[in-house]
């Protein structure tokens, strides 16, 4: 799997199909795989796994397209906020627990949140996500459980509530009281 | 055919430049570190992606356009990681975010 993708990368980068270039490519890819073997076998934490078999591929294509749409829509929204004269900001911190099956799912959710303009994953501790949002409309997708549900659908067929313990912090005081 | 291609690619590049311009304005206008991170990373990345998409359309289906698509992919992967690292470092150092509601409260107290 990684050999095929690395080889495809080599061919795209070189653009030659003759024997010498392809042979050099095979040698290089073998070297890279040899160097990376230790790293791949190393487990940084318990459910750190390196296979894609749990992802449903049809779903992931849909997820990618949906994600791109979200990014573009939210991007225009953020641009609208910045160039407006009054700047209708409402900066908030959101914390919530996400009930997701694996570390990969959490990673995908965190990356998706960061990639969508207007929201930014600050920290993930076990299940606890800390997210910074620039205004109310930006975090709607997370609090309404839409985006976490899409991530869950990548891995499992069932639909359920993913988010628990949702907290929206809008003032410094409330944080000190906690 | 090439005319339409040119027009579409110019539109994409212009949209991308607008995004980058707004991102730069955002760095100056927004109040604190976290909000500025939004404008730098998000608007700028979207801008870069739009510019590169425009170049892909301009180029057509060739080897260089494939390389450009790879660049988009890597920006897509690297951007959230970089942003997350920055924000997390700031958060761990104890930088409190600026809340707009705090400002409203202060005005009420005056």
Tell me the pLDDT of chain B (110 aa) as tens digits.
Answer: 678 888 888 998 998 898 888 888 888 877 777 778 777 777 778 888 888 888 888 887 777 888 888 888 888 888 888 888 888 888 888 777 777 666 666 666 65
A22-31, A32-41, A165-174, B88-97: lowest mean pLDDT where?
Answer: A165-174
Give the start-to-end residue ranges of the domains of chain A: 2-41, 57-177
Question: How far B4 CA sits from the closest chain A CA (Å)?
Answer: 23
pLDDT in the model for residue A174: 44
Q: Which residues of A touch B (CB under 8 A)?
A: 9, 12-13, 15, 71-72, 75, 78-79, 82-83, 87, 89-93, 110-111, 114-118, 120-123, 130, 132, 134, 169-172, 175
Mean pLDDT of A14-24: 80
CA-nearest of A163, A133, A128 to B101 is A133
The interface predicted TM-score of the complex, written ipTM, equals: 0.72
At A128, the pLDDT band (50, 70, 90 cuts) reads confident
Query: Domain extents for chain B?
Result: 2-109
**Distance separating the N- and C-terminal Cα atoms of chain B:** 65
Least confidently predicted of A8-12, A85-89, A162-166: A162-166
Residue of A nearest to B40 (CA): A117
Residue among A140, A146, A144, A138 at smallest CA distance from A80: A138
Least confident interval from A41-50, A168-177, B49-58? A168-177
Flag whether pLDDT at A175 surpasses 60: no
- Residue A22, phi then psi, degrees to nearest 5: -65, -40
Q: What is the pTM of this model?
A: 0.73
Please provide the CATH number assigned to the domain covering A57-177: 3.30.70
Element (H, E) at A70: helix A57-83
């Amino acid at each position: 799997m990684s050999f095929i993708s690395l080889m495809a990368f080599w061919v795209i980068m070189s653009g030659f199909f003759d024997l010498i270039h392809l042979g050099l490519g095979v040698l290089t890819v073998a070297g890279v795989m040899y160097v990376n073997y230790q790293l791949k076998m190393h487990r940084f934490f318990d459910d750190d796994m390196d296979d894609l078999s749990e992802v449903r591929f049809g779903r992931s294509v849909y997820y990618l397209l949906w994600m791109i749409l979200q990014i573009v829509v939210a991007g225009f929204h953020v641009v609208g906020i910045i160039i407006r004269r009054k700047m209708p900001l409402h900066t908030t911190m959101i914390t919530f627990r996400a009930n997701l099956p694996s570390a990969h799912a959490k990673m995908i959710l965190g990356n998706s949140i960061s990639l969508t303009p207007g929201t930014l994953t600050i920290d993930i501790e076990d299940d606890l996500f800390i997210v910074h949002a620039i205004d109310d409309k930006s975090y709607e997708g997370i609090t309404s459980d839409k985006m976490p549900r899409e991530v869950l659908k990548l891995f499992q067929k069932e639909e359920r509530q993913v988010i628990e313990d949702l907290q929206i912090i809008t003032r410094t005081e409330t944080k000190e009281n906690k | 055919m090439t005319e339409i291609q040119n027009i579409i690619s110019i539109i994409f590049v212009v949209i991308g430049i607008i995004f980058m311009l707004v991102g730069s304005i955002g760095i100056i206008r927004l109040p604190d570190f976290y909000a500025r991170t939004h404008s730098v990373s998000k608007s700028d990345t979207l801008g870069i992606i739009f510019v590169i998409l425009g170049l892909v359309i301009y180029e057509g289906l060739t080897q260089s356009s494939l390389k450009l698509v790879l660049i988009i992919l890597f920006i897509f992967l690297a951007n959230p990681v970089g942003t997350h690292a920055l924000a997390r470092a700031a958060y761990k150092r104890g930088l409190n975010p600026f809340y707009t509601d705090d400002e409203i409260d202060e005005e009420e107290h005056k």
